[in-house]
């Protein structure tokens, strides 16, 4: 009962951010996804608007005007997804000893002392319209993109409580970091090529419409000693938008009737019917032409912020500690309040403790600011056989802890593209990615290219979630309609 009560009280904080679990993708564009990375030297046409605007000027296929309609991508993954550890912990052997469990957690989550957070993210991204047009030494573009992305991170301490229980001795961190964002952005890009310097520079400022936001961050320590449990905690919950209006303000973590005490699903508003925040951002990039067949590029993406003003508030705890030193048995109360039902008495006793520790919160209404998932990218691309064969290699690294960045560790990728044909072609793309928040990931994609119409589909996945890293990554993307003039 002690174990269950403590775990449920911690998970209650997590459930306050039960928004749809969707997140940003760090390989933008179906072609890039198919090569498991691609990089800023590889990206072309309307995809360049969101990843490296310097390449908007490139006109390798003789099309001055390019329109993309309805590009869709989805992503799921992170270092928390390691199936071998799931199998070892929950499936293959149900009688693991405590040292065996701790060895699994050491390999999966790191040491208990450092409080390292493992993450999992999910996402969806839609580009309903993007346009690129160019002249002789310049290019420009405009596009609309809607993204929904989340990141959920947990330290090892939570898994120690679940798998080992409260019969152990010691003190360890139990930390959580969960963020979810839905935005629509309008980007306008421009690039200029300087022939004498063999250099192209591009910039794409964007106006960001914030639709929904939710964040829960908790830093805490659990101390276990001689049957005594102490949980010292501090957390902040921020929310904005219709999610906060419909659900967040109705949450009562410890009501036995459930989390939604007053909300009626029929009364929920459309999560996209109002703007809850506004912000600005920018993507910038540069491409250097080492030779006619070799490009080197770098870009910074999603430098920006969103100020949330509608239905925006923050919740912090009034108390900072939960303590349990053992069950105090009051037989008179068992008889008088619970009609002799000892089980009901125990449940009520623990509910009183949990409510006293966690239920009293302070809610502050007012605007706050979040940041977009800034990242740095660099790559080179070699074009052989007059562009029929391309090899690209590069690296990407997240620059902050925004929801769309699963990790601030760099990832590296190597990919290729082959075109069996010129005017009419069926391109084949493949690649691998290592590092970051995942194990080795392989990508593959195919397409149809004609002088006026393109279709592309790609996917990427992790064959083994502990091969050359830790964590699964799974991506799929479709660009159904690209028109060239």
Does the pLDDT value for residue 268 go beyond 50?
no
Per-residue pLDDT tens over the stretch 109-152: 777 666 678 888 899 999 999 999 999 899 999 999 999 988 89
The helix/strand/coil state of 7 is helix
Give me the half-sphere count of Cα atoms (radius 13 Å) on the Cβ side of residue 229. 24
Q: Any idea of the CA torsion for 271, 184, 433, 82, to the nearest 10 degrees?
A: -20
| Percent of residues in the chain assigned helix, strand, coil, to nearest 5 | 20, 50, 30
Percentage of the residues of the chain whose pLDDT score is greater than 70 = 77
Of the ranges 240-249, 292-301, 326-335, 470-479, which one carries the lowest mean pLDDT score?
326-335
**In Å, how far are 96, 166, 395, 466 from 89, measured between CA atoms?**
8, 17, 34, 15
**236-260 per-position pLDDT tens digit:** 888 898 766 655 554 444 333 333 3
Whether 301 has a pLDDT exceeding 80, the answer reads yes
Which residues, 6+ apart, have CB-to-CB distance to 198 below 8 Å? 288, 289, 290
- Position with higher pLDDT, 250 vs 19: 250
Q: What value does the mean pLDDT take over residues 418-425?
A: 85
Contact 344, 351 (CB under 8 A): no
Q: Which residues are registered as beta bridge partners of 385?
A: none
Question: Predicted confidence band at 18 (pLDDT cuts at 50, 70, 90)?
Answer: very low
Q: Is the pLDDT of residue 165 over 70?
A: no
For 254, phi then psi, to 5°, come to: -120, 15
pLDDT given at position 3: 43
Binned at pLDDT 50, 70 and 90, residue 6 comes out as very low
Q: What percent of the chain has pLDDT over 90?
A: 43
Read off the pLDDT band of 457 (50, 70, 90).
very high
Q: At 324, is the pLDDT very low, low, confident or very high (cuts 50, 70, 90)? A: low
pLDDT at 351: 61
Average pLDDT over residues 85-100: 68
Q: pLDDT higher for 404 or 21?
A: 404
Please, which pLDDT band fits residue 483 given cuts at 50, 70 and 90?
Answer: very high
Unique residue bearing structure tokens 């679990």: 21
Cα separation, 397 vs 411, in Å, equals: 6
Q: Is the pLDDT of residue 8 over 90?
A: no
- Averaged pLDDT, 205-228: 87
Q: Determine the Cα–Cα distance for residues 431 and 425; give it in Å rounded to an integer.
A: 19
Q: What is the pLDDT of residue 127?
A: 93
Instruction: Select the more confidently predicted residue: 350 or 68.
Output: 68
Range name among 169-173, 354-358, 420-424 with the lowest pLDDT average: 354-358
Residue spans of alpha helices (H) in 268-364: 331-338, 342-354
Distance in angstroms (rounded) separating the CA atoms of residues 419 and 41: 18
What pLDDT does residue 289 have?
95
Whether residue 430 is predicted with pLDDT greater than 90 in this model: the reply is yes
Lowest mean pLDDT among 23-32, 306-315, 365-374, 470-479: 23-32
Q: How many CB atoms lie within 10 A of CB 118?
A: 23
- Dist CA 106 CA 101 (whole Å): 9
Averaged pLDDT for residues 269-281: 75
Question: How high is the pLDDT of residue 335?
Answer: 65
Nearest-angstrom CA–CA distance, 144 and 158: 40
Query: How many residues are given for the chain?
Result: 485
Tell the residue number behind the tokens 């990931």, with chain if given. Answer: 441
Q: Read off the pLDDT band of 348 (50, 70, 90).
A: low
Separation between Cα atoms, residue 153 and residue 78, nearest integer Å = 9
Q: Inform me whether the pLDDT recorded for 23 exceeds 50.
A: no
Range 218-236 average pLDDT? 81
Three-state SS at 8: helix
> Residues 360-383: pLDDT tens digits?
778 888 899 999 999 999 999 999
| Sole residue written with tokens 């390999």 | 107
Tokens in use for 239? 């929310």
């Amino acid at each position: 009962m002690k174990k269950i009560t403590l775990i449920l009280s911690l998970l209650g904080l997590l459930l306050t951010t039960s928004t749809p679990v969707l997140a940003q993708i760090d390989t933008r564009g179906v072609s890039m996804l198919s090569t498991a990375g691609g990089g800023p030297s590889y990206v072309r046409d309307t995809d360049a608007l969101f990843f490296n605007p310097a390449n908007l000027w490139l006109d390798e296929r003789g099309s001055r005007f390019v329109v993309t309609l309805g590009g869709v991508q989805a992503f799921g993954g992170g270092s928390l997804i390691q199936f071998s550890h799931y199998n070892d912990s929950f499936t293959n052997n149900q009688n693991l000893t405590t040292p065996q469990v701790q060895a699994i957690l050491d390999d999966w989550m790191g040491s208990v002392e450092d409080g390292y957070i493992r993450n999992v993210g999910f996402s969806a991204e839609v580009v309903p319209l993007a346009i690129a047009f160019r002249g002789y030494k310049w290019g420009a573009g405009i596009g609309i993109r809607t993204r929904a992305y989340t990141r959920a991170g947990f330290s090892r301490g939570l898994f120690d409580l679940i798998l080992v229980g409260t019969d152990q001795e010691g003190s360890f961190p139990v930390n959580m970091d969960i963020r979810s964002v839905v935005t629509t952005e309008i980007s306008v890009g421009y690039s200029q090529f300087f022939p004498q310097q063999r250099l192209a520079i591009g910039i794409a400022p964007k106006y960001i419409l914030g639709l929904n936001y939710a964040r829960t961050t908790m830093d805490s320590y659990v101390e276990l000693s001689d049957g005594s449990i102490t949980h010292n905690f501090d957390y902040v919950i921020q929310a904005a938008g219709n999610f906060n209006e419909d659900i967040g303000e109705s949450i009562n973590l410890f009501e036995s009737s459930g989390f939604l005490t007053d909300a009626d699903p029929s009364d929920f508003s459309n999560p996209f019917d109002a703007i809850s925040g506004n912000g600005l951002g920018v993507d910038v990039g540069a491409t250097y032409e080492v030779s006619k067949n070799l490009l080197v590029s770098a870009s910074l993406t999603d430098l920006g912020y969103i100020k949330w003003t509608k239905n925006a508030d923050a919740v912090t705890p009034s108390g900072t500690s939960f303590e349990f030193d053992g069950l105090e048995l009051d037989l008179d109360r068992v008889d008088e309040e619970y009609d002799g039902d000892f089980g009901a008495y125990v449940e009520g006793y623990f509910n009183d403790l949990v409510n006293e520790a966690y239920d009293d919160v302070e809610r502050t209404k007012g605007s706050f600011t979040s940041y977009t998932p800034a990242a740095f990218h660099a790559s080179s691309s070699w074009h052989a056989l007059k562009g029929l064969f391309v090899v690209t290699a590069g690296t990407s690294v997240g620059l902050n802890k925004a929801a769309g960045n699963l990790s601030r560790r760099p990832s590296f990728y190597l990919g290729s593209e082959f075109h069996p044909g010129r005017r009419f072609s069926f391109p084949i793309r493949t690649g691998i990615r290592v590092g970051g928040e995942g194990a080795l990931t392989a990508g593959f994609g195919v397409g149809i290219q004609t002088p006026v119409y393109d279709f592309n589909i790609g996917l990427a996945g992790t064959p083994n979630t502990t091969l050359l890293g830790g964590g699964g990554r799974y991506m799929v993307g479709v660009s159904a309609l690209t028109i060239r003039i």
